[in-house]
């Protein structure tokens, strides 16, 4: 574990680390915000999974979450979205390859050897965080776009791990969307039965979550046809999921949207983590 940078923020510290990843076969980078309360003992954790083209840095510098996390006494973890480097497979398209790991374990060439973001986020990185003053018995998770997809699927497939889950403009039904079918075919192969485990709408229809959910979606999002929020909203209603799905009038897909509602999300998770 190598500390790459450390900055004082809202009485706590925003750090960036690199470490060797077995799951991804090389170095990975993540951001970790420790609030002032971490100086007195372990604090709960809120994961933030980022979207297409993003690194660990986008949400760390644009979402504005640290102030609210400091006030609540919650740590923030910002993983990267894929393995990176000259020796890592990539694609000319922005929505496949580096920066577009989709939080799955790839099984197809040339991706299978390095693109194992599911194992990295679900298992390897949490184990690596055990050296920090974090209470890993109290975790919550959120994400934006591709990261919202990751947050929802990780929470639904790890019942009991997260006290709450939220998402900003998640890719809600990837098995039926251009953002999903292309990537799942490339990473997981053409057997669509294997894709269902990474579709939050399908997982929600199977029974949903035993914890509260908060979804925010902008009405002027330029990617609405790829996100398919109506499918997830209908699945939440059908399963009587404990949650709130909000259509935010006039907002698009950018970090201006995320930063406008990040306080609500941190507060939402704090209520679940400290209840």
Q: What residues act catalytically? A: 145, 221, 253
CA distance 17 to 62: 19
Distance of CA 112 to the CA centre of its chain: 21
Q: Is the dihedral of CA 193, 92, 115, 16 positive or negative?
A: negative
DSSP 8-class letter at 175: G
Burial of 145 (0-12, 13-18, 19+ CB in 10 A): buried
CA distance 95 to 257: 21
Count of CB atoms situated within 10 Å of the CB of 92: 6
Q: Taking a C-beta distance cutoff of 8 angstroms, is the pair 259, 64 a contact? A: yes
DSSP 8-class letter at 37: G
> Nearest Cα to 97, choosing from 86, 105, 88?
88
Whether the upstream peptide bond of residue 110 has omega within 30° of 0, thus cis, is: yes
- Residue 150 three-state SS: helix
CA distance 88 to 54: 16
DSSP 8-class letter at 124: I
CA distance 90 to 253: 24
Query: Could you please report the per-residue DSSP string of 46-64?
Result: EEEE--TT--THHHHHHS-
């Amino acid at each position: 574990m190598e500390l790459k940078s450390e900055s004082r923020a809202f009485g706590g510290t925003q750090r960036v680390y690199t470490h060797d990843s077995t799951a991804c076969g090389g170095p990975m980078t993540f951001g970790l915000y420790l609030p002032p309360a971490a100086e007195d003992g372990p604090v709960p954790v809120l994961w933030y999974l980022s979207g297409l083209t993003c690194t660990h840095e986008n949400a760390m510098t644009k979402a504005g979450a640290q102030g609210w996390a400091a006030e609540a006494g919650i740590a923030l973890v910002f993983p990267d979205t894929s393995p990176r480097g000259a020796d890592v497979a990539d694609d000319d398209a922005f929505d496949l390859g580096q920066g577009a790991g989709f939080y799955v374990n790839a099984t197809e060439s040339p991706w299978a050897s390095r693109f194992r973001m599911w194992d990295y986020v679900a298992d390897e990185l949490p184990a690596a965080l055990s050296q920090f003053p974090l209470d890993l018995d109290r975790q919550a998770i959120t994400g934006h776009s591709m990261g919202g997809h990751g947050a929802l699927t990780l929470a639904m497939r790890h019942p009991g791990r997260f006290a709450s889950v939220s998402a900003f403009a998640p890719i809600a039904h990837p098995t039926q969307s251009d953002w999903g079918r292309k990537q799942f075919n490339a990473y997981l192969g053409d057997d669509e039965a294997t894709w269902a485990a990474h579709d939050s709408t399908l997982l929600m229809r199977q029974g949903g979550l035993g914890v509260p959910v908060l979804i925010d979606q902008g009405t002027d999002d330029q990617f609405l046809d790829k996100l398919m929020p109506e499918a997830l909203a209908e699945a939440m209603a059908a399963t009587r999921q404990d949650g709130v799905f909000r259509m935010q009038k006039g907002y698009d897909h950018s970090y201006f949207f995320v930063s406008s509602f990040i306080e609500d999300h941190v507060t939402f998770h704090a209520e679940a983590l400290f209840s």
